[in-house]
Structure 1
Amino acid sequence: MSTPFPKALVTVAVGGGTFLLTGVLSDSDSDARWQWTASLLAAVMALLVQYLGDRLKAVEESQRRHMDDMKRSLTSHHGEVRTAVDQSFAKINEATKLFSKVDGSVLRSEEVIRLVEAYTRVGDEAPGIVKSFAEEELKRLAELMEDLISGRADSSFENHEWLIDLALCVKKTLYATSTTIDRDFWASDPAKRYLSAQEKAIKTRGVEVRRLFLVDEPEEVTEALEQLCVWQRRFGIDARIGVQSQLDPGGTVMDFIIFDGELCYETWPDSHVRPDMTMLRMKHEHVEDRVNQFNELWAATEQENEPEPGTGSMRRRLRWGAE
């Protein structure tokens, strides 16, 4: 925009020029007022034209700045949209790859899809505490899956759900030792579910189930323990009693269960000799050692059955020593 001084100079020049021109063109007898009027009008028009020109330039400059701002904004927005689209496609691509792996896995893909759909619905519909609980459970499940990949998983308590689920999954063999540490377990509700799952595995899948109840000394072979064996045989389980001090090999044996010769479920006692920790071990060397240990203990016992007087039931008699 022009400064005030040039504007005034142009206005005076136009006014003065008009005054001189009208003086030359007018008759000598004409009224001088016409000269002044024409000069004033010309000066006003010059000033008005300059003002309008400046305003037009200001509008053009404002429009130019506005257009520049719009271009920058559109460029920035385009970049943000493109980034968002790229991220969305990346997530879609990642999800597609993941579900492709699920479809190609030997695991049942419908269960994975069911989990994802249910978790999504919980996130959309459930109240806050339920969402938090679902997140913790999903985190626990993810950690278990990662532990299974590594070949070992631990639980800081006696995990009956693992035990029952494994009994539902076993296909060939279930070999187990049971010491005094878990003796109270057999009177619990989880034990009933566990035995029911074993009975189903025996009858429907032909699974061989062997259980060796271990005590430290012969006097610990009580009538109650013998009846426990009789009760378990009714489920189709081959149950025996072994005295560790007389078995070959000797030594203390902890509770362990071998499923299909591939996975070992073990419990570890606390200071009060009660189950305090559950361990899953899938490393081949560890499982093989447990299988060999169980086979040696099993071979060191010999079962002879004879009818109990007056009951018609089977009674356990044992001979100890290497065969």
Structure 2
Amino acid sequence: MQGDPDTPQPATHGVHVSPLILKILITIVVSTGAYVLTNLVKQSGDELWKIAVAVVIGGSTLIVQYMVDFEQRLATVETGHVERSRRTDEHFDHLSDAAALLSDLDEAGMSTSDAKRLITSLRRVGQQGPEIVKAFARSEVESLASVVTDLTGKSAHWPRDNNEWLIRLTQCAQRTIDATSSSVDQPFWGTDTAGPYLDAQTEAMAVRQVTIRRLFMIKETEAEDPVVMARFTELCQAQLDVGITVRYLVLPPTPETNPHPRPAARDVVIFDTDLYLEFEPDQLGVNIKTTLDAHHERVNRQVRWFNALWSRAQEIVPDPDPHPDPVP
């Protein structure tokens, strides 16, 4: 229907005149005007002279038009050149900043190849991945950036358990690992995470000759329970078998008159006496916070605390033949 907004209407365009034709028309008009003007000013005279004057004025008009057009084109070229130069400078500044960052990473002993691989992979995910994959990648990068930023202050925190930190730090240890394992932590050894953690410790001892000490802390009620102690002895024996030095300490009961009871033991892992990982439990014994700390004074305090407990702890006597052959 005519006038329907959804019905395509024929496009209307103005008459397009070529710039060259327009210049010629202007020149002809000016020349004609000059010729007429010379006739009015000097009606008697040489006709050839009048035509010459008109041609000169027309030619001058044409030259002026080309000069104006040339100046406009030159200004456009200069503006484009300035813009391209600015973009080129910005591009080189970005490249310079990126090169400086990679150089700083290299000087700091960090892997530049991993940084390049991360950037390249993020670009590919941004170009190819669906929105949920992009959102997940951004979340992971933000989490990593947050942790690394916190580490510039030599500490980082994570809500709940962070067994990935525990395993990764074990893989990074070069000299020693000193760990306390409280009653809260003992059920951990029956979980799926305990296997990779124990494998990482075994590799650290075999490949890098890392010395590992583990101090178990148990309650008096647990020490008096034969069934609990049988399971506990089996757990200690399994760790002794792989080369971990094990001791245990029986904790005194918490006074009932204490209005604000705190956990009797803390699960702390000290790596190379340079950094420690602490798992903070709530009153129900559930770990609600993981703290990574590399402050020299606080690490030294943890080392002194661990050594004091270790000196008071009892040694586990290893079974000389944990799996004896049956007597025929």
TM-score > 0.5 by shorter chain: yes
Tell me what 1:135 maps to: 138
Aligned partner of 2:299 in structure 1 is: 287
Check if 1:254 corresponds to 2:266: yes
2:221 matches 1:219: yes
Larger radius of gyration: 1
Residues 1:11 and 2:14 aligned together: no
- What percentage of aligned pairs have identical amino acids? 28
Which one is further off, 78-87 or 222-231? 222-231
Partner of 2:97: 94
Find out whether 1:301 has 2:308 as its counterpart: no
| TM-aligned CA deviation for residue 295 of structure 1 | 0.5
SS at match of 1:174: strand
- The root-mean-square deviation of aligned C-alpha atoms, in Å, is 3.3
SS of the aligned residue for 1:212 comes to: strand
Q: Aligned equivalents of 1:286 and 1:97: distance in 2?
A: 34
* 1:1-323 correspondence to structure 2 within 5 Å: 10-17=38-45, 42=47, 52=55, 55-215=58-218, 217-221=219-223, 222-223=228-229, 224-245=231-252, 252-270=264-282, 272-303=284-315, 305=317
Please state how far the C-alpha of 1:187 moved relative to its aligned partner. 1.2
CA distance, structure 2, for counterparts of residue 14 and residue 302 of structure 1: 131
Structure 1: runs of 5+ lacking an equivalent? 19-41, 313-323
Indicate how the Cα distance of structure 1 residues 181 and 51 shifts in structure 2: closer, same or farther if over 3 A, else same: farther
Partner of 1:319: none
Paired positions, count:
284
Which amino acid counterpart does residue 305 of structure 1 have in structure 2?
V
State whether residues 240 and 318 of structure 2, in contact with CA within 8 Å, keep that contact through their aligned partners in structure 1.
no
Classify 1:72/1:305 alpha carbon distance in 2 versus 1 (closer, same or farther; 3 Å). Answer: same
Deviations 1:67-111 (A, max 9, x none): 221122111111111111111221222222222233334334433
* Rounded Cα–Cα distance in structure 1 between residues aligned with 2:110 and 2:57: 78
SS in structure 1 of the partner of residue 184 of structure 2: helix
Q: Is the 8 A contact 2:179 2:267 kept in 1?
A: yes
Q: TM-score, normalised by structure 2?
A: 0.74
Could you report, residue by residue, the CA deviation over 1:256-295 in whole angstroms, capped at 9, with x for unpaired residues? Answer: 1001101100111245331121110000001100000000
Partners of 1:103 and 1:302 in 2: CA distance: 47
CA distance in 2, matches of 1:122, 1:238: 46
Task: State whether residues 216 and 246 of structure 2, in contact with CA within 8 Å, keep that contact through their aligned partners in structure 1.
Answer: yes
One-letter amino acid of the structure 1 residue matched with residue 234 of structure 2: Q
- Structure with more helix by fraction: 1
Q: Structure 1 residue 50: deviation in Å? A: 6.3
Match of 1:180, SS? coil
